[in-house]
Structure 1
Amino acid sequence: MSDEINASTNLHSEKFNAIDADIIFKSFDNVHFKIHRKNLESCTGGFPPAGFETLGEILPLTESASTLELLFQFIYPMPQPNLRSCTFEILAAVAEAAEKYQVYSAIYICVLIMEMKLPENAPMIFGHAGRHDHIYLLGKAAPYLIGKPLDEVASELPGHLIIPWIKYHMAWEKQLQKARLYPERNVSWALSDAVGYIFKFKEINDLKDLNAIFGDRNENGNAFNRYLDAWRDNIESNILGMKTFDKYLIL
């Protein structure tokens, strides 16, 4: 079957089917999109330039029709699609296509909406941000992954982000050590009572759920409870003073 520009055997996008369009793309599921070159040239950086001659052929793309239907709306003067209502899988597909074809307005919107999707989709968002050097988004997603094993996260990162992630992980390890040592820097009478709390700090994730650590109260009187409050406040203050992951990056 020929891929000539007048082929009529494939489906056509209803939204992108202008008669005067001068380039046709085909999705991997065989839907044709008739697009104006001037829009590609003015709104993107990754599609064929105006001088590129297609010789009457239809250009195949690797994305699905549903992804391209959303993506191409960003290069025309029309209402942009509401990606916030999409599933994360659809959002991720559009985001990757936007990066691939350098559809800049779509890239910006996808980054904003991905931040809104945290923390539920943190691993995928962190991976996307890492692949495309979105420093701000990396900083937002990183705290939700810090409790994962160091090698597990590092193995998914581009090479230039591995050392910064190791440094960031080490900084959290130091905070875990500080949390365990807090009683030794305070009143000695509380040390024996505090031992049980010390043993609750087993891993980095414990620093992110201080309610679980300090929720057991009133067993040793108000003075000890005030001691626990001071301990917790010290941990929270130290964590707030930490550098975010994006501050470790030199890109």
Structure 2
Amino acid sequence: MSSASINETSTQSDGTAAPICIVPSCAHPINLVLRASDGKRFAAHAELLDLYSSCFPPAECVQGIEETDLSESAEILDMLLRFMHPHPQPDITNLPRPTLEDLAEAVEKYQIYPAMQVCKNEMRRTVYDRPVEVLKYSMKHSYKDLRDEAVFYTVETPIEIVWNIMKDSNPIFFCAWTLFCHKLREKNLQGRYEQAVNAGRDQANRHVVPACSDHWRRFSDRVIDLLRGRHWKPFYVSFDLAAEHARLNLDYCHRCSHREREDSALAIWRRSLDALRREVSLDDWY
């Protein structure tokens, strides 16, 4: 191949048309061609791959124009390259769930820094619909906060489904999940949590001033509905998330809003429930 960089009108030495950059008006020299698993070829810039990722060779090591095969599809590779440009990031909020999971894995594989937290945040948003997939992702990439949130949403999932999703990853993940679920049932954590929901509110009620009592009752009823699973699976939703959604659906005065957010009543209720969740942790086995 020629030692010159590809430009928009050039052809490669083998006569094939050179791809152009997918980002309009990009002025960086094209000195790499990346071929997706389905055969589509993409122009790339060694200096940008070196800047935004830790898994591509340093720019100074690229001699001439190199063509490389990657295992990702054209759809995924397109988004990866857009993340590695000084350009607005692609909107991934409405991606189909399997596509998002493939993108999140590719971002971790190539350590594409601008996209890692973005993908993690989007994966967190899917925890209610695809908790096992989120658990697998979070365990594989050591996102402990997301792992500890996702695992509670998986305990009612049939073991065959969990195995089918996790079998191609580290077998320790599946073993740790199995032991976690066993310990959860052994401690009757879900039954005790149901009791603690009411007991915690009774404790918190003593810290609510009379002027706020009516609103507190409506607010706490809504929190209990959420914690018991009228809208989500019981026990697994975090207390803070339930409280946040309860506020969104209620009109409240400034005084009560301040109390709900900062007062000891809410803190006491939260502590009584979070203490139970901490009795069983994946840290015991993984």
Q: TM-score, normalised on structure 2?
A: 0.57
| Alignment partner of 1:175 is 2:184 | no
> Which residue does the alignment assign to 1:15?
23
Q: Any idea what SS the aligned residue of 1:140 has?
A: helix
Change (3 A) 1:174 1:117: same
Distance 1:137 1:6, change over 3 A: farther
Structure 2 distance, partners of 1:7, 1:58, is 14
Alignment match, 1:44? 53
Shift of 1:139: 1.3
Q: Please, which moves more after superposition, 53-62 or 100-109?
A: 53-62
Task: Tell me how far apart the structure 1 counterparts of residues 190 and 33 of structure 2 sit (CA, whole Å).
Answer: 61
**How far 1:31 sits from its partner (Å)?**
2.5
Kindly state the Cα deviation for residue 30 of structure 1 after the two structures are TM-superposed: 2.7
RMSD: 3.6
CA distance in 2 between partners of 1:171 and 1:57 (Å): 53
Asked whether the 8 Å contact 1:18–1:35 carries over to 2, the reply is no
For 1:73, give the aligned amino acid: R
Residue of structure 2 aligned with 1:241, choices 269, 276, 286? 276
Provide, for residues 87-140 of structure 1, a one-character-per-residue CA deviation record: whole Å limited to 9, x for no partner.
112211211111111112212110111101221011222222222222222112
Q: Distance in 1 between matches of 2:187 and 2:274?
A: 7
CA distance in 2, matches of 1:139, 1:241: 13
Letter in 1 for 2:16: S
Matches within 5 A, 1:1-251: 7-9=15-17, 12=20, 14-15=22-23, 20-53=29-62, 56-149=65-158, 153=162, 156=166, 158-162=170-174, 164-176=176-188, 179=191, 209=234, 241-243=276-278, 245=281, 247-248=283-284
Contact kept? 2:19, 2:33, Cα under 8 Å = no
Partner Cα separation in structure 2 for residue 124 and residue 5 of structure 1: 44
Tell me: CA distance 1:37–1:153, structure 2 relative to 1, closer, same or farther (3 Å). Answer: same
| Distance (whole Å) between structure 1 residues aligned to residue 51 and residue 282 of structure 2 | 31
CA deviation after TM superposition for structure 1 residue 56, in Å = 3.6
Superposed CA deviations along residues 9-64 of structure 1, whole A, max 9, x for unmatched, are 57655437767222221222332222221111111011122243456441121212
Distance 1:59 1:109 in 2: 26
Please say which of residues 35-44 and 150-159 is displaced more in the overlay. 150-159
Which SS does the other structure have where 2:49 is aligned?
A: helix
Residue type at the aligned position of 2:92: L
Contact conserved, 1:99 with 1:132, CA < 8 A, in 2?
yes
Greater gyration radius:
1
Query: How has the CA–CA distance of structure 1 residues 5 and 175 changed in structure 2, closer, same or farther, with 3 Å as cutoff?
Result: farther
In 1, Cα distance between equivalents of 2:101 and 2:50: 24
Do the aligned partners of 2:31 and 2:64 also contact (CA within 8 Å) in 1?
no
**CA deviation string 1:64-93 (max 9, x = no partner):** 221111111211111011111211122112
Q: TM-score scaled by structure 1?
A: 0.64
Secondary structure of 1:99's match? helix
Q: Distance in 2 between matches of 1:34 and 1:177?
A: 54
1:12, 1:32 within 8 Å by CA — same for their partners in 2?
Answer: no
- Looking at structure 2, the residues matched to 31 and 96 of structure 1 have their Cα atoms a distance apart, in angstroms, of 20
Change beyond 3 A, Cα 1:47–1:240: same
Is 2:189–2:276's contact at 8 Å kept on the other side of the alignment? no
The worse-fitting range, judged by mean Cα deviation, of 18-27 and 109-118 is 18-27
Structure 2, unmatched stretches of 5+, are: 1-10, 196-228, 236-271
In structure 2, what residue type is equivalent to 1:38? E
SS at match of 1:85: coil
Query: Quick one: structure 1 residues 30 and 133, their matched pair in 2 at CA, closer, same or farther if it must change by over 3 Å?
Result: same
The whole-number CA distance in structure 2 between the counterparts of 1:151 and 1:93 is 22
